[in-house]
Amino acid sequence: MANSVYMLIFLIVAVYLVVLFDGYYRASKYNAGVNHLVRENFGKRASEQSLQDDKLRELYDVLGSMGEGDVDDITFDDLELLRLFKTLNHCDTNAGEHVLYRMLRSQHFDLAYHKALLAKLSAIEGDANLLALKVELRKLGYSKRSLVPLLRDGVDLRLVKDYKLPVQVMGWAIVPLLIVSVFNPFLLLFVPFLLGTNCYLNYQMNKKQAANLLDFNALSAHFKVFKKLNAVPVAGLEEEFQELNRLFKDLAFYHKALSRIGFSAAATEAEALGKMLDIIFLISSRRFFKLADRLNRDKDKLMAYYHVIGMIDAYLALVSYKISENLTAVHFDGTFKGEDLRHPLLGREQVNQSFDFTGCDILLTGSNASGKSTFLRTVGISQIFANAFSMAHGTLSTKPMPVLSAIDISDSLAQNMSYFMKETAAIKRMVDVSGDKLLLLDEIFKGTNTIDRISAAYATLSYLQEDAVVLAATHDIELTTMLQTFTNYHFEEAVADDDIYFDYRLKDGPATSRNAIRILELFDYPTTITETARDLAKHLEARSAARTARI
């Protein structure tokens, strides 16, 4: 009997030492992996290191728009709204980042919504607990993994379904074995087999569900922070906190269940002892199956809980951005005017834009690089920001209306589409959307020949202006006289000291100068080329004027 007891003690000590060594080994591998990633990614652009763009839109793809419409992918890319989001992103959590991205893409056309949003942001900004709440959210912080796939799809148990019954049985097998061995010490010889089996089951569970366990750790942090968030209420967020409290009551089970599960490596003696007991009784494995089954039933509620925390963080981020950029409330009075509007990605030294396009459709002309495309983007971003957040980078008077653009079109080898085909498809979606809208077009139909381009542009712009505000930029001067229902504006350049200067200021009327041939001269092209080009330009200009007069 004594020998059997010694054998049992020896086996337990052996398991303990194996667990401790395994912990040190895993910690060493983890540190080596982190060191490799840091060295591998240092000096590279962020876009080369991660799929952050895809991660940002996960919640948006699951839940869709929060408003009456959304910003489509073409407009989102044209206006570089991903770059804008990265400057707007003052969030402290993954949840806030996901929600803020969703808010940027969601467009609201109800004036009551904008009134309520401005009141909410004003109340938050004036509350003394604002920074204390951000501190608690910062403690929650970013996890390295997005929780959206877990909360969208639940836990996929297919990899471990064959282990469920063995885990349930072997987790308690040590108890009857030890009891029976009191009467028959020979049965202690089965203890090594039992411990070996449990080590194998624990290893397989750890290996096959490592991704879900990382998600569980991140989700656990969202429940642990609940009481801390509740301790710092902020004016304007009463509805969000009420919803958070309601959801927490329904999901209180997860507060303890998530904190009691984990297959983490043991790198200290105390952790090794807990790990040894975990292996003997398969505690974490049994809890995992129980938690996974329940999470799959509650994933919609868990998504709602995650979303509310994100909403709180996103509102605080908006207030922070508002203060940093000195944003002003939009005047939703039905006019379309801007004063000192800034492009949020160009910095403080840019030329601010002022205009009054109330009741007008606009045709922009001007030289290359004079500022036409940037102006279109400034107006488009301002309108989208107004629709989403009721604020502007400058002074803006407008009405809520969707924005569609066709600015930065490119051909697609993957889709086997030429530039003109892509542009045609992009503009067709403008034709298909009825009702008030702001349309932004840059160099319309430039992918085809001159005669077809001018003809198609004239017919399309005339059609689009019937129920939209249209801002179109073009190099086709003929359109400035053909489209008599459009108001002409232009940007221009000045040539001095053998260089070309742009003031980037919007001016009345059509452009009267061109700079392409002058640029050839500044680059010391042979005079044969520049003189021939200039003579031909005069001839073509005269012929075009005569053709336009006949029309």
Domain ranges of the chain: 2-325, 330-511, 515-551
Position 47 scores a pLDDT of 38
Per-residue pLDDT, averaged over 207-229, amounts to 86
Better-predicted residue by pLDDT, 37 or 484:
484
Q: What band does 522 get if pLDDT is binned at 50, 70 and 90?
A: confident
Q: What phi and psi values does residue 500 have, to the nearest 5 degrees? A: -115, 130
Position 517 scores a pLDDT of 80
3-state SS, residue 361: coil
Tokens of 154: 């639940």
Position 548 scores a pLDDT of 57
By the 8 A CB rule, do 112 and 118 touch?
A: no
Q: Kindly tell me if the per-residue pLDDT of 296 is higher than 60.
A: yes
Residue type, 242: Q
Position 239 scores a pLDDT of 96
Measured CA to CA in angstroms, residue 338 lies from 79, 345, 358, 379 at distances of: 18, 18, 10, 8
Per-residue pLDDT, averaged over 185-207, amounts to 79
The Cβ of residue 546 has, within 10 Å, a number of other Cβ atoms equal to 9
The string of DSSP letters for 278-341 reads HHHHTHHHHHHHHHHHHHHHHHHHHHHHHHHHHHHHHHHHHHHHHHHHT-EE-EESS--EEEEE
**Of the listed ranges 186-190, 357-361, 440-444, 500-504, the one predicted with least confidence:** 186-190
Among residues 351, 204, 346, which one has the least CA distance to residue 284?
A: 204
Tokens of 100: 């803020």
Residues paired with 488 in a beta bridge: 363
Position 354 scores a pLDDT of 96
Position 109 scores a pLDDT of 96
User: 338-397 pLDDT, tens per residue?
Assistant: 999 999 999 878 999 999 999 999 999 988 788 899 999 999 999 999 999 999 999 999
Pairing of strands 493-496, 499-502: antiparallel
Position 102 scores a pLDDT of 96
Per-residue pLDDT, averaged over 521-547, amounts to 81
Better-predicted residue by pLDDT, 480 or 517:
480
Position 279 scores a pLDDT of 74
Q: What phi and psi values does residue 544 have, to the nearest 5 degrees? A: -65, -40
| 3-state SS record for 40-108 | HHCCCCHHHHCCHHHHHCHHHHHHCCCCCEECCHHHHHHCCHHHHHHHHCCCCCHHHHHHHHHHHHEEC
Position 274 scores a pLDDT of 60
By the 8 A CB rule, do 359 and 507 touch?
A: no
Position 25 scores a pLDDT of 66
> How far apart are the C-alpha atoms of 203 and 26, rounded to whole Å?
12
> How far apart are the C-alpha atoms of 37 and 434, rounded to whole Å?
50
Residues 404-426 as b/e (b if ≥16 CB within 10 A, e otherwise) read bbbbebeeeeeeeeeebebbbeb
Among residues 291, 53, 293, 300, which one has the least CA distance to residue 152?
A: 300
Position 181 scores a pLDDT of 75
Number of separate helices (H) and strands (E) present in the chain: 25, 16
Q: Which helix (H) or strand (E) holds 530?
A: helix 527-550
Better-predicted residue by pLDDT, 321 or 449:
321
**Of the listed ranges 101-105, 271-275, 539-543, the one predicted with least confidence:** 271-275
By the 8 A CB rule, do 255 and 224 touch?
A: yes
Distance, CA of 153 to chain centre: 20
> How far apart are the C-alpha atoms of 368 and 360, rounded to whole Å?
24
Per-residue pLDDT, averaged over 525-538, amounts to 88
Position 280 scores a pLDDT of 77
Position 524 scores a pLDDT of 85
Q: Which helix (H) or strand (E) holds 363?
A: strand 362-366
Position 369 scores a pLDDT of 80
Residue 258: CA atoms inside 13 Å, Cβ hemisphere, count?
21
Highest mean pLDDT among 70-84, 182-196, 217-231, 413-427: 70-84
Measured CA to CA in angstroms, residue 154 lies from 224, 260, 449 at distances of: 21, 19, 54
The string of DSSP letters for 193-229 reads HHHHHHHHHHHHHHHHTHHHHHHHHHHHHHHHTHHHH
> How far apart are the C-alpha atoms of 551 and 549, rounded to whole Å?
5
Q: What band does 326 get if pLDDT is binned at 50, 70 and 90?
A: very high
Better-predicted residue by pLDDT, 40 or 278:
278
Position 206 scores a pLDDT of 78
Tokens of 421: 């085909």
Per-residue pLDDT, averaged over 387-413, amounts to 89
How high does pLDDT run on average in the chain?
84
Q: Kindly tell me if the per-residue pLDDT of 51 is higher than 60.
A: no
Identify the CATH assignment for 330-511 out of 3.40.50.2300, 3.40.50.620, 3.40.50.300, 3.90.76.10: 3.40.50.300
Residues 314-345 as b/e (b if ≥16 CB within 10 A, e otherwise) read bbbbbbbbbeeeebebbebeeebbbeebbbbb
Q: Is 455 exposed, middle or buried (0-12, 13-18, 19+ CB in 10 A)?
A: middle
Measured CA to CA in angstroms, residue 25 lies from 33, 278, 285, 356 at distances of: 12, 18, 21, 68
Task: Name residues whose C-beta falls within 8 Å of residue 506's C-beta, 6 or more positions apart in sequence.
Answer: 353, 354, 355, 375, 489, 490, 491
